[in-house]
Amino acid sequence: MSFLYPLGLLGLIGVPILIIIYIIKNKYTESVIASTYIWTLSEKFLKRRLPINKFVGIISLILQILAVIFISVAVAHPVLTLPNSANDYLFVLDGSGSMNITRDDKTRLDFAKEEIAEIIEDSANGSAYSLIFAGETPNVIFDKITDKDYALLLLGKIAPAYTSAGFTDTLGAAQKYFNDNSSILTYFVTDKEVEPSENVQIINVSGGEENYAVTDVAYSFANSDNFGKLTVTGSLVSYESDAELEIKLFLNGNAEPAYEQKADVKKLQSAPFAFVCEETNFESLKVVITNKDALAMDNEAVVYNVEYENSYKVLLVSDTPFFMTALLQSVGNASVKTVSTETYSKTAEEAVKGRDLCIFDTYTPEVLPDKAAIWFINPQQSVAKSGFTVQNEIEKTVGVKADYTNSTKTIYKTLLRDVLKEDVYIKKYQKCRLDRKDFLTLVSCDDNPLIFTGTNEYRNREVVFAFKLNDTNLAPVMDFITLSRNLLDYMFPTVIDESSYYSGETLQVNVTANCDSIRLESPSGKISYLDTSSAVSEVKLTEVGTYTVTLMSGETARVFRVYSALPEEERIPAVKSEAFSLVGEAGTEKRDGVYDDLMILFILLALIFAADWMVYCYEQYQLR
């Protein structure tokens, strides 16, 4: 027998202390009484006692000592070693998305955990347990721990994955355990139909559950019969039986379905469907199978409109907005709202709310919007925090030629990409002084900046055309359109190219030039920040549901959504898998087991003796 906490035996010091106290305290009480006659006579009537009764006088001390001894031993936690009675266990737990399939309100992962827990609980104390969770990547949850309770605690904390699980790496990890100890008992708990495997015991937790899935959902506006109208297509699958499935289409997050239909689906045969809608645009759509099955998460598919996600909202403040409106709709993915200068002067704060870009055409606001990119066209006067100062208007008698920058810097090349640099003449313009160093002058006249861009003091991107479009020949030429597109692309690049993914795939986010941070919120609410140091930031999607990507540029936030679906291979209730064999000859060595439930016994004994002592004391008190 050994002790887990030998320091607990220090409590035995209490034994000699008790004896010393007993010796010191144990004195005869002297008393004079009327007569000792009867007392002396009583000796003749005293029954001859058993030798053991000699201990009756110190029964209190004996009980106290026994209580102290058992308490000390219990604190020291005695452990009995049982040679060669325990084993090493290795559990390989399939954590793929299909383990989320439910049966009797419990997932396959729950059943798998129950199987493992049962093995752990039935095993001899002193056994060592290791568990590899084969989720997105193999993950050793616990390694050769001997504490059953701790193993069960860690097992209980395992959360399901939503990706496919490749077992190659897992097998390698398990093989390493087997190489280290060929006597290890290996269990592979999965829902796959695994071929007979060597040195591994397969525990299958699948139960032939019913499952339907909606796949390959896509949309288009180019249907020949209904040109411009939204058409949603996809496929339905029933994995276990023929079924009549009801599907509903929800648009733009509405709770009521916009369209619905029924479809007969043969087992394991893909059944296409199509919704032809009246809508010509949408923000998001969701196709849902309403029939109940064992795996709910593959019964719906959500698609976000990439164009919509990448679009930006523009406020155009102009009294002659036609030209700019046409320009924005032709060169950018913009949603334009136009207000007159008079209206804006009255409702400035309300008008700029939620806008990604504010364009002021021949108008200067009193207060510069702080949460949007800014374009000034022919600014009339200076505005605080804009980063430049309007000095005076310069008017030429004849148009003078403006000059494109000759800089070879990449940024200039980007902004002037595809610009033919045709001759530009200007008759009248505003002379501006650039107060911030980061402004880039693209076109100038007499060394005065005509077209320049940079960031204002709110760190929002700003573009200034320091002239009226009527006072130059730039507007009608192609270069103006190209330059505007470059500027808009530079300010609002396409952030996401795709809005539909499978769990386990990688989401790519284009990092915009002025992006400060990219915040990613997973369907379960986990928040992470992506790397913004490179042009493209990547992140692996490991959950099923809608991810929200928020790009922060100064005070401006642009929000994008992508949907991550369960991988198709994980939707199949019964998948056949290759053998999960461990190479080598299995050993028969065992490890020493332990019996550590002795502590309870000692605690009970201590309690019994302590209680006995108290009862004895109470009896003695009552007799007085």
Point out which residues bind another protein (CB under 8 A).
26-47, 49, 53, 56-57, 620, 623-624
Q: Which is nearer to another protein, 254 or 620 (CB)?
A: 620
Q: How far is the CB of 32 from another protein (least distance, A)?
A: 5
State how far the Cα of 593 lies from the Cα of 156, in Å rounded to an integer.
24
Q: How far is the CB of 27 from another protein (least distance, A)?
A: 7
Q: How far is the CB of 26 from another protein (least distance, A)?
A: 7
Q: Which is nearer to another protein, 54 or 437 (CB)?
A: 54
Q: Which is nearer to another protein, 55 or 529 (CB)?
A: 55
Q: Which is nearer to another protein, 40 or 392 (CB)?
A: 40
Neighbours of 289 (CB within 10 A): 24
Q: How far is the CB of 53 from another protein (least distance, A)?
A: 8
What pairs with residue 539 in β-bridges?
Answer: 507
Q: Which is nearer to another protein, 63 or 359 (CB)?
A: 63
Q: How far is the CB of 610 from another protein (least distance, A)?
A: 21
Q: How far is the CB of 43 from another protein (least distance, A)?
A: 7
Reading the block at residue 236, the tokens are 């339905």
- Degrees (nearest 5) of the Cα angle 375, 397, 388? 25
DSSP string, 519-532: EEE-TT--EEEE--
Q: What is the DSSP letter of 536?
A: E
Alpha carbons within 13 A on the beta-carbon side of 538: 4
Q: Which is nearer to another protein, 2 or 53 (CB)?
A: 53
State how far the Cα of 545 lies from the Cα of 543, in Å rounded to an integer.
6
Query: 């495997």: which residue's tokens?
Result: 197
Q: Which is nearer to another protein, 398 or 623 (CB)?
A: 623
DSSP string, 356-419: SEEEEES---SS--SSSEEEEES--S--TTSSEEEEEEEEEEEEEEEEE-----HHHHHHTTT-
Tell which residue, 534, 475, 522, has the closest CA to residue 322: 475
- Degrees (nearest 5) of the Cα angle 484, 470, 424? 60
Q: How far is the CB of 31 from another protein (least distance, A)?
A: 6
Tell which residue, 317, 303, 294, has the closest CA to residue 366: 317
State how far the Cα of 542 lies from the Cα of 344, in Å rounded to an integer.
46
SS3 state of residue 269 = coil
Backbone angles phi, psi at 313, to 5 degrees: -100, 130
Decide: 328 and 291 in contact? Cβ < 8 Å: no
Q: How far is the CB of 23 from another protein (least distance, A)?
A: 13
Q: Which is nearer to another protein, 27 or 401 (CB)?
A: 27
Q: How far is the CB of 49 from another protein (least distance, A)?
A: 7
Decide: 12 and 74 in contact? Cβ < 8 Å: no
Q: Which is nearer to another protein, 40 or 410 (CB)?
A: 40
State how far the Cα of 344 lies from the Cα of 88, in Å rounded to an integer.
76
With a CB cutoff of 8 Å and minimum separation 6, the contacts of 134 are: 92, 93, 94, 95, 96, 165, 167, 170
Q: Which is nearer to another protein, 45 or 322 (CB)?
A: 45
Q: Which is nearer to another protein, 45 or 227 (CB)?
A: 45
Q: How far is the CB of 615 from another protein (least distance, A)?
A: 15
Q: How far is the CB of 19 from another protein (least distance, A)?
A: 17
Tell which residue, 158, 147, 141, has the closest CA to residue 90: 141
Q: How far is the CB of 595 from another protein (least distance, A)?
A: 41
Q: Report in angstroms the alpha-carbon separations of 476 from 192, 405, 445, 471.
A: 66, 21, 19, 11
Q: Which is nearer to another protein, 529 or 618 (CB)?
A: 618
Secondary structure of 481-493 in the HEC alphabet? HHHHHHHHHHHCC
Q: How far is the CB of 41 from another protein (least distance, A)?
A: 4
Q: Which is nearer to another protein, 62 or 574 (CB)?
A: 62
